[in-house]
Amino acid sequence: MRLRDPYFLLFILAWIPMIWVYVRRERKFRPTVRFSGLSLAKSLRSSPAVRARHLLLVLRLVGVGLLAVALARPQKGHTEQQTTTHGVDIMLALDVSTSMKALDFKPQNRLFVAKETLKEFIGKRTHDRIGLVVFAGRSYTKCPLTLDYDVLRQFIDDIRFGELEDGTAIGTAIATAANRLKESEAKSKVIILSTDGANNAGAISPEVAAKAASELGIRIYTIGVGKRGRVPYPFEYVHPFTGERTTKVQMVDNVEVDEQSLTDVAAATGGKYFRARSSEELAEIYRLIDTMEKTKIKTKSYTTYSEHFFPWLLAGFLLLLVELILANTRFRRIP
């Protein structure tokens, strides 16, 4: 709420001469009645009407005050915002090969930590379309580019081992993600690929896929997941007679990440390679990428005002009308 012409409130200063004139008149023109004795006059009490005569002044003052507010034009504003975004289209490529079962990101395996980190990353984006590609021996689009982050998080939760034949088809994963971005009109197109191995499957090499992505204006960030050396890995055993399944954790030689290939892929597209040896490092990498790929948002505010002077104007006139009627009827002065 605002007053369009607040200087009209100066009319309230008219209260000062109005009060002064009223007080002076009350003192000068007090009605008198002659009595032969004062004993009878002393016993008389003033009627409620006499005591209420000052109500006329109150009505006049309040009426004038309301009219002053009406002249100041009270207005109520309604603000609308026009938001223009230059969003980022992001395809997440996640390795779901069996090597992601390794438990070096204790107490959970690599895939579980990667999924949770992806959901945290998605939660920080607001105006970007994000999609998901999963890969092992081959790849496929789990979720196309979308702004429905709840659906995307559900797809991430549904990722399981065994969806694809085992292997690590990094080149194919890049090609699949790039294919989803090739028609994008976003100012920035990004692939974030996480893997814990080296390319050993698929008909497309990572370097060729990266070159094709670069020509489409796509930037690739690559993340090597897992510790070096020996890592704990769960093996499932089936009892030959009872069929009972048990899981035992053993230390095995880790499948080394092809860091050179991932570095070359990122460099060819203007991206960057990261190495995550713990869940904390993986979360920090996604936080860093989040700051590097910011969405540009421009907001313009428009405020429209509607007039609300009429209730004040009506109330002021009504009070002055009541004051006028009472002054000429119930509180009329008889000379």
Model pLDDT for residues 4-56, shown as the tens digit of each residue: 888 888 888 888 888 888 788 777 765 555 555 555 555 555 556 566 677 88
Cβ atoms within 10 Å, residue 90: 26
Over the stretch 124-149, which tens digit does the pLDDT of each residue have?
988 889 999 999 999 999 999 999 99
State which residues form the domain around 157.
88-227+259-294
Instruction: Find out whether 68 and 283 touch, Cβ atoms under 8 Å.
Output: no
State the CATH number of the domain containing residue 114.
Answer: 3.40.50.410
Residue 271 in any domain: the answer is yes
Are 17 and 117 in the same domain?
A: no
Tokens read off for 111 = 């895939």
Do 16 and 111 lie in one domain? The reply is no
User: How many Å apart are CA 188 and CA 294, to the nearest integer?
Assistant: 9
The answer to the question of residue 240 being in a domain is: no
On the question of pLDDT at 296 being above 70, the answer is: no
SS3 for 44?
coil
**Contact call for residues 227 and 282 (beta carbons, < 8 A):** no
CA 13 to chain centroid: 47
What does the block give as tokens for 118?
A: 């992806």
Let me know whether 74 and 133 are in one domain. Answer: no
Domain count, the chain: 2
**Residue 113 reports pLDDT greater than 90:** yes
Q: Is the pLDDT of residue 207 over 70?
A: yes
Residue matched to tokens 């989040």: 290
Structural contact between residues 141 and 176, judged by C-beta atoms closer than 8 angstroms: yes
Q: At what angle do helices 206-215 and 259-268 cross, to 10 degrees?
A: 10
Query: Do 119 and 267 share a domain, yes or no?
Result: yes
Identify whether 243 is part of a domain: no
Q: Is residue 164 part of a domain?
A: yes
CB of 202 closer than 8 Å to CB of 102:
no
Spatial distance between the Cα atoms of 102 and 113, rounded to a whole number of angstroms: 11
Establish if 112 belongs to a structural domain: yes
Residue 94 lies in a domain: yes
Same domain, 139 and 275: yes
60 and 93 share one domain: no
pLDDT at 333: 64
> How are strands ordered across the β-sheet holding 273-276?
139-146, 129-135, 88-95, 188-195, 218-225, 273-276
Hey, what are 138's tokens? 């081959």
**3-state SS, residue 301:** strand
282-291 confidence digits (pLDDT tens)? 999 999 999 8
Residue 236 CB contacts under 8 Å (≥ 6 apart), including other chains = 245, 246, 247
Domain check: are 270 and 126 in the same one? yes
* Mean pLDDT for all residues in the chain: 86
Measure the CA–CA gap between 219 and 209, rounded to whole angstroms.
12
Q: Is the pTM of this model over 0.75?
A: no
Query: In the prediction, which pLDDT does 34 show?
Result: 57
Q: Please, which pLDDT band fits residue 307 given cuts at 50, 70 and 90?
A: confident
Task: Spell out the residues 6+ positions from residue 220 whose beta carbon is closer than 8 angstroms to its own.
Answer: 174, 190, 191, 192, 193, 210, 213, 265, 266, 268, 269, 271
Same domain, yes or no: 114 and 92: yes
Total residue length of the chain: 335
Task: Please answer whether residues 273 and 263 qualify as being in contact, where contact means their C-beta atoms are separated by less than 8 angstroms.
Answer: yes
Report yes or no on 178 lying in a domain.
Answer: yes
pLDDT band, very low/low/confident/very high, at 182 (cuts 50, 70, 90) = very high
Tell me the longest C-alpha to C-alpha distance in the chain. Answer: 133
Considering the domain architecture, whether residues 52 and 177 belong to the same structural domain is answered as: no
Sign of CA dihedral 40, 45, 46, 47: negative
Are residue 140 and residue 6 in the same domain, yes or no?
no
In this predicted structure, what is the pLDDT of residue 101? 94
Is 57 in the same domain as 116?
no
How far apart CA 94 and CA 160 sit, in angstroms, is 12
Mean pLDDT in residue range 256-270: 95
Token pair of 198 as six digits: 């080296």
Q: How confident is the model at residue 74 (pLDDT cuts 50, 70, 90)?
A: confident
Which whole number is the average pLDDT over 173-200? 94
Residues 136 and 285 occupy one common structural domain: yes
**Residue 56 counted as domain residue:** yes
Q: Indicate if the pLDDT at residue 59 is higher than 90.
A: no
